[in-house]
Chains A and B, each alone.
Chain A
Amino acid sequence: MTAIPGRFAAPQRLIHWVMALCILSMLFIGVGMVATVSSKYLTLVQIHKPLGIAILVLALIRLTLRLYYGAPALPADLPVPVKLAAKLSHYFFYALMIGMPLIGWAMLSAEAYPVVLFGRLHLPPMVSASPYLHTLLWRTHYCLAFAFFALILMHVAAALFHRLVRHDGVFEAMASDPARK
């Protein structure tokens, strides 16, 4: 068996999988809510806002963990362009995890819309009301959501490639309990 390089620290692995679930749900909720006029619309919107803020908070915790623990090195035999792609994709992930909730929050502020989390818990407006800014933020939020989803698909494909084809331990570095003997 190929040697398994280091693994991510336990808190990093936990937050990765929790956030994976949150973000995937978030993207499905987002794309679903803008495509329906049924009563589900309200439920989806009511989940979308607090879940977005939860992802923002988790992303900031995750960034701190990443800076504190670092990440295991990629396999030495991985081609340089692939290594570069892996590194870049992770910068994009952090940018999107932090950026998307902030853009969503700013977008609601720009349309003078109350940002309700639960009951009386509101977030203050991040920017002042502006239809121009709203359009810009709305389009950005919309396009980045698809980019985020595409990035996740690539990430899943790459993770499975490491697991099923390369057997180089990259998948196991983030897996909850690697099957090693």
Chain B
Amino acid sequence: MVETAKQSRPFAFRACTTIAVVVGMVALAFAYTAGWLSARRLTPEKLIAALQSESGPPLGHRRNHSKGICFTGILEANGRGTALSTASVFAPGVYPVVGRFNIGGTDPNQPDPLAQVRGFGIRITTPDGQEWRSAMIDAPVFAAPTAQAFYEFLTAARNNDPNALKKYSAVHPEILAFVSWVKNHLRTESWTEDRFNSLDSFIFIDATETKHAVRWSFVPETPPVTLTPSELAKREPNFLMEDIAARVAAHPQHWELMITVASPGDPTADPTKSWPEDRQTINVGTLTVQDVQQEADGPCRDINYDPVVLPSGITTSDDPIPAARSAAYAFSYDSRTSEASHYPRVTRAKQ
């Protein structure tokens, strides 16, 4: 008995060590995968945090483009898109749309005249249960070519050191096109006069399985009336919100859905680079905005305009930004829905 005990004790110790090592290594691999061991990994949480102002995130609201208003309407597809993609949304027909006009920035009460960027989210559904979601802005190009660069840009922009942005633009000169657009473009008097661009590239797959790299835009039917900076500054804090409600109440508002097809060699992987003007552009249908609803009670409130929710016949391309947006939007959605009590559903604002 004594002998057996003496023999088995070191053996059991070795066995237990083996067990601890195996379990420990699996746990370590898990911790690494979760990013707990990589302080520098860019997570959705960090990307979202870099967007927020010092007062913290807008509880209950989207983590960017936080101020907005819902709309409902229809997309009338003319059938011409079927040459590029098998997505059922391009077959001739009328498909319901739930969308959202918004302005960039994380303050849900930001005065409309201060908006640097205006945006537009859309969800188109077809009877076969397919969905196409897209979130677009009025800028002609995006600010950064990758999520990492965008994060560095946001970090530099928040930095108190005035040289931080200069240092960033020295490494990333592509930011200058975006910054100069933000500084210099004349704002229109209405969302109904703005053109909204996908900026990111996607792939359309046609009936012969041929792939077409594309970008798209919603081009307004209403001709733009631009405001000088001093005229803009005099506008009411909610002039865009009030304008859209009034215009849509008076008449349905229209945009044409234009698909731009890349030529071989066009920069599909970099949304900071525009494509040449002469690229083939196809009008595939007309969006009609028929009704506007305040967001608090509106149908767009609980929709995540995730740009990778695509119908069969459309996929992502080598553009890295939609993946980052999808990850960040999911984080934003999970956060804001858990804070719904901070954004009461009952609105007093009646049109």
Please list the residues of chain A having a beta carbon within 8 angstroms of any beta carbon in chain B: 27-28, 31-42, 45, 111-114, 119-120, 122, 129, 131-132, 134-135, 138-139, 149, 153, 156-157, 160-161, 164-165
Provide 15 A-B residue pairs closer than 8 Å at the C-beta atoms, listed in order of the A residue: A33-B327, A34-B43, A34-B44, A34-B327, A35-B44, A36-B35, A36-B42, A37-B328, A41-B327, A111-B302, A135-B334, A135-B340, A161-B19, A164-B15, A165-B12
Residues from chain B with Cβ under 8 Å of A149 in the complex: 30
The interface residues of chain A, by DSSP majority, are classed as helix
From A121, which residue of chain B is reached at the shortest CB distance?
B312
Whether a CB of chain A sits under 8 angstroms from the CB of B16 is yes
User: In chain B, what residue has the closest Cβ to A131?
Assistant: B337
Q: Given A37-B43, A114-B309, A153-B23, A27–B30 Cβ distance below 8 Å?
A: yes
Per the bound structure, the CA–CA distance linking A4 and B147 in Å amounts to 56
Q: Mark B42-79, 1 if CB is under 8 A from A, else 0.
A: 11100100000000000000000000000000000000
Q: A31-B33, A37-B324, A38-B147 are in contact. Are A131 and B22 (CB under 8 A)?
A: no
Tell me how many residue pairs across A and B have CB atoms closer than 8 Å: 112
B326 at the A interface (CB under 8 A): yes
Q: Does B29 contact A (CB under 8 A)?
A: yes
A156 and B23 alpha carbons, distance in the complex (Å): 7
Chain B contact-residue range equals 35 or more
A41 and B15 alpha carbons, distance in the complex (Å): 39
Which B residues are CB-close (under 8 A) to A38?
Answer: 42, 147, 320, 323-324
Chain B residues whose CB sits within 8 angstroms of the CB of A45 once the complex forms: 326
**Roughly how many angstroms separate A139 CA and B43 CA in the complex, as a whole number?**
18
How far, in angstroms, from A165 to B14 measured CA to CA in the complex?
Answer: 9
Contact B42 A37 (CB under 8 A): yes
Q: Is B34 an interface residue (CB 8 A)?
A: yes
B41 contacts partner chain A, Cβ-Cβ < 8 Å = yes
Contact of A111 among B27, B131, B337, B340 (CB under 8 A): B337
CB contact between B34 and one of A32, A39, A157 (< 8 Å): that residue = A32
Residues of chain A contacted by B338 (CB below 8 angstroms): 135, 138-139
Contact (Cβ within 8 A) B43 A153: no
| Top 3 A-B residue pairs of the complex, sorted by shortest distance between their CB atoms | A164-B15, A35-B35, A131-B337
Q: Is the CB of B316 within 8 A of A42?
A: yes
The answer to whether B26 and A156 have CB atoms under 8 Å apart is yes
Most buried by B among A34, A37, A111, A113: A37
Q: Shortest beta-carbon distance, B20 to chain A, in Å?
A: 8
**Contact between chains at A35 and B27 (CB < 8 Å):** no
Residues of B within 8 A of A35 (CB): 33-35, 41, 43-44
Give Cα A27 to B18, complex, Å.
23
